[in-house]
Amino acid sequence: MDVVVSRFHLLRLPQKSLKNVLLIMGIIEQFCFSVLSNKTKQFIRDIGVFENVKLCVHFSDPVKYEIYDPIDNSTFWFLLNNGNVSASPRYPNAHRVSIVFSASQFDAKSWLKHILYTINPSEIESLSFFRTAQEFNERQFQMHEDCLKGLSISVLMFENMNQMQHIVKIVNAFMPTRQLAFLGGSQDTFTSSELLAFRQVLCQETLHRFFEMHVPLNELLFTNCSRISTTILTEKEINMFLKHWIAGFKPELEYFSIPKQGTHFNQDIILEGIQYETAPIERKVRILNKYTRGGADIQMSHESKVTIIFDFIFAFNYSMIYVAVHGSKYISFNY
């Protein structure tokens, strides 16, 4: 099959017509246009083609940059490797296909600067570090620390909990952030030096902490945030955590949640030694994004109360516990 090459001189169009053409292109085509010259890069920036997109940075080898367009709910990955850019949709179809094009004018740093200049983001949606247990690319880290300086990070995410000294370095470089997440960790014990380093991370102030790993109860109590989501605590540990919280140990905390796969939580163990009042089932409760009824109210050491909700999601076969402080943004009644 013969390849048809278009000879249409796009850049000879009047600016208004060129803008209209660019705005109906896809993200990959718009990015291809931006790398043609400094003039095309500036034009893409000036007309605000990417003003609504969200930029995510995934540290791997090489680094992958993810662009999400909320308007049409599409995600694209851009990766520079050996002078070639691989651009691919997250969900390919007949209208969205992967392409590879030459970009020998870029090295890793100039490619990142091009992306940042063209998109002109107000913040980085997420900064994700993977496989920090194997090799820590110091040069790659320093480059991003320099290029992302002045940009806020919405989510700072780690794949595992090894090489804690590097995690501390990353957190110190890119804080503040709204959410700090630790995913896929399998480490059950920490050395004394690792615990000390981990506490440095936990003491950093953020809005939300998410732990998909085992965190010792004492360390969880060190967290400095208004919202904690975790996945690995025993029912006795949940009971102890709630008792410390209710006693006023964590006044900044306003919301706590934890799932359990396959079985119901044992409410008797979780609420053992805690005075609570069961709310009437008619009471409507919105707790974060969950709409339900009833719950149990617990008086805290100060004037506030918390409501605890036990829920079972049959469709996905797991239980949830939600706890929120009255008067916080995480809970409302009779919605």
pLDDT 10s digits, 125-149: 999 987 644 577 888 999 999 999 9
List pLDDT tens digits, range 163-198: 777 888 899 999 889 999 988 655 556 778 878 888
pTM, two decimals, is 0.83
**Residue 96 near residue 126, CB atoms below 8 Å:** no
**Average pLDDT along the chain:** 88
Residue range of the domain that includes 82: 10-269
Return the HEC string of the chain: CCCCCCCCCHHHCCHHHHHHHHHCCCHHHHHHHHCCCHHHHHHHHHCCCCCCCEEEEEECCCCEEEEEECCCCEEEEEEEECCEEEEEECCCECCECCEEEECCCCCHHHHHHHHHHHHCCCEEEEEEECCCCCCCCHHHHHHHHHHCCCCEEEEEEECCCCCHHHHHHHHHHHCCEEEEEECCCCCCCCCHHHHHHHHHHHCCECCEEEEEEECCHHHHCCCECCEEEEEECCHHHHHHHHHHHHCCCCCCCCEEEEEEECCCCCHHHHCCCCCCEECCCCCEEEECCEEEECCEEEECCCCCEEEEEEEEECCCCEEEEEEEECCCCCEEECC
The per-residue pLDDT for 94 is: 65
* Section 86-97 average pLDDT: 82
Domain annotation covers residue 297: no
* Section 204-232 average pLDDT: 86
Domain annotation covers residue 106: yes
The per-residue pLDDT for 131 is: 64
Give the number of residues written for the chain.
Answer: 335
Domain annotation covers residue 81: yes
Q: How far out from the chain centre does Cα 209 lie?
A: 10
The per-residue pLDDT for 130 is: 78
CATH classification of the domain holding 125: 3.80.10
Instruction: Say which residue the tokens 């995600």 belong to.
Output: 75
List pLDDT tens digits, range 301-310: 888 999 999 9
The per-residue pLDDT for 227 is: 95
Domain annotation covers residue 64: yes
Burial class (CB in 10 A: 0-12, 13-18, 19+), 326: middle
Domain annotation covers residue 130: yes
The per-residue pLDDT for 71 is: 86
- Output the six-digit token pair for 183: 């995913």
Top-ranked range on mean pLDDT: pick from 11-20, 49-58, 309-318? 49-58
Domain annotation covers residue 149: yes
Closest residue by Cα to residue 159 from 212, 123, 201, 202: 212
Domain annotation covers residue 138: yes
The per-residue pLDDT for 72 is: 84
Q: Report how far residue 164's alpha carbon sits from residue 187's, in angstroms, rounded to the nearest whole number.
A: 12
Number of domains forming the structure of the chain: 1
Closest residue by Cα to residue 129 from 139, 141, 113: 141
- Output the six-digit token pair for 330: 């995480």
* Section 222-229 average pLDDT: 91
Domain annotation covers residue 317: no
